[in-house]
Amino acid sequence: MGMLVKYHLYAPGPVEIPPDVLTEMSKPIFHHRTSQFSEVLVNAWEGLKYVFQTKQHVFILASSGTGAMNAAVENTLSEGDKVIVLSFGKFGERWGKIAKAYGLNVVTLQKEYGYCVEPDEVEKALKEHPDAKAVLLQHSETSTGVSSDLKEIAKIVSKTEAILIVDGITSVGCDEVKMDEWGIDVLVAGSQKSFMIPPGLSFIALSEKAKKYMEKSNLPKFYFDLREEEKALKDKTTAWTPGITLIMALNKAIELMKKEGLENVIKRHTVVSKAVREGVKALGLKLFCKYRLFSKAVTAVEVPEGIDGTQIPKLMRNKYGAEIAGGQGSMKGKIFRLGHLGYVDKGDVVVMLQALEFTLRELGYKFEPGVSLAAANKILFEEYEF
């Protein structure tokens, strides 16, 4: 029998849910084809525009983020279209797989995990492939902790006929993403990340340029047909059965984000992610991201020599009460990933790093106890605003 260990969820999604949001989800359910639900839905649509930084409508789909990725492709592109996919991690590879599943002509700009495709490489590819209809990329590559230079890439793509399709699943709501101002054409996000609610909803918005593509798109579509959603929009409803409880929760979560202010939400994630990285480095561990931009949602860390990497997430969760994520696919056992998005503040940094120190000590890794906490606190003292 050991002492009580309080459980904390530090995965890069799903994330912990604020108590007010949990309470919202415990309210009685009601029918979705009612004025009561229309009110909830319109509220959610308005809230999403605020987080997406757009005047465009943001569709809510009852699916995980991958559903919105699917919708992004099938609603804007046509048979045989050429697309440029930026692939520097597991989720960039997913864009490639989705595009290939629809028989699109995929040009892949590949980078080794931990690195990223540079804006000038995107510019070069667009010049080499002037017939490319779209550029598909991750903003925050959850599998590697790398962030792409979205603002610069958007500038480049917006000067061409191609549309820019962005997976903002772990960046919207924790990093700066200005859909309209930057010229992002299709932006997708998911509920279980910065939106601080359970998995099950995805969000997608299209620019005027992307809507013109949508009119011509001839790829097969049914459940994710946004034209059906547009028709339903006029009646303040959804094409198919919506995630009623999750949309109620979404409204409460966005209310919390508005109360804090989007700029402060982003600042909080910026400082917390920096504190985590400094804490990790103070332990003598190497960050897996070798690129100049780090994800604000997740920090990927290389497993030190001589340590069984698969044991780190297991021990942290089962013994020390902090659930993190391991490496995915070919990265299994080679990296571990510390999630710090959504309902996180300065205290979570300390709890996460403390659990990591206990775990590493048990696995025989040598370091000065408390060193990561001191390094993280230094950042928090200087940069965390109250």
- Tell me the three-class secondary structure of 282-313, residue by residue: HCCCCECCCCCCECCCEEEEECCCCCCCCHHH
Task: Look up tokens 């603002």; give the residue.
Answer: 151
198-215 tens-digit pLDDT: 999 999 999 999 999 999
Could you give the CA distance from residue 295 to residue 288 in angstroms, rounded to a whole number? 11
> What was the pLDDT predicted at 236?
98
Mean pLDDT for the stretch of residues 113-117: 98
pLDDT, the chain, mean:
97
1 pLDDT exceeds 80? no
Task: Look up tokens 């949508």; give the residue.
Answer: 214
Selection from 141, 169, 142, 137 nearest residue 152 by Cα:
137
Q: Domains (ranges, CATH) in the chain?
A: 8-15+262-383 (3.90.1150.10), 19-259 (3.40.640.10)
Residue 226: how many CA atoms within 13 Å on its side-chain side? 31
Q: 191 is written with which tokens?
A: 């509920």
> What was the pLDDT predicted at 2?
83
Could you give the CA distance from residue 326 to residue 335 in angstroms, rounded to a whole number? 6
Q: 333 is written with which tokens?
A: 């056992």
386 pLDDT exceeds 90? no
Could you give the CA distance from residue 68 to residue 304 in angstroms, rounded to a whole number? 37
Which 3 state secondary structure label does DSSP give 219? coil
Residues 6+ apart with CB under 8 A from 228: 239
236-253 tens-digit pLDDT: 999 999 999 999 999 999
- Tell me the three-class secondary structure of 150-216, residue by residue: HHHHHHHHHCCCCEEEEECCCCECCECCCHHHHCCCEEEEECCCCCCCCCCCEEEEECHHHHHHHHH
Percent over 90 (pLDDT), the chain: 98
> What was the pLDDT predicted at 329?
86
Q: Long-range contacts for 330-336 (Cβ within 8 Å, ≥24 apart)?
A: 330/113, 331/113, 331/143, 331/144, 333/303, 333/308, 333/309, 334/302, 334/303, 334/309, 335/144, 335/288, 335/300, 335/301, 335/302, 335/303, 335/309, 336/300, 336/301, 336/303, 336/309, 336/312
**Side by side, which strands form the sheet with 298-302?**
298-302, 335-339, 325-326
What does the DSSP assignment read for 78-121? -TT-EEEEEESSHHHHHHHHHHHHTT-EEEEEE--TT----HHH
Per-residue pLDDT band for 80 (boundaries 50, 70, 90) equals very high
Could you give the CA distance from residue 108 to residue 92 in angstroms, rounded to a whole number? 10
C-beta of residue 311 within 8 angstroms of C-beta of residue 365: no
Q: 69 is written with which tokens?
A: 């990725």
Percent over 70 (pLDDT), the chain: 100
Mean pLDDT for the stretch of residues 112-128: 98
> What was the pLDDT predicted at 178?
98
305 pLDDT exceeds 90? yes
Mean pLDDT for the stretch of residues 71-85: 98
Pairing of strands 146-147, 322-323: unpaired
140-164 tens-digit pLDDT: 999 999 999 999 999 999 999 999 9
Per-residue pLDDT band for 374 (boundaries 50, 70, 90) equals very high
C-beta of residue 10 within 8 angstroms of C-beta of residue 317: no
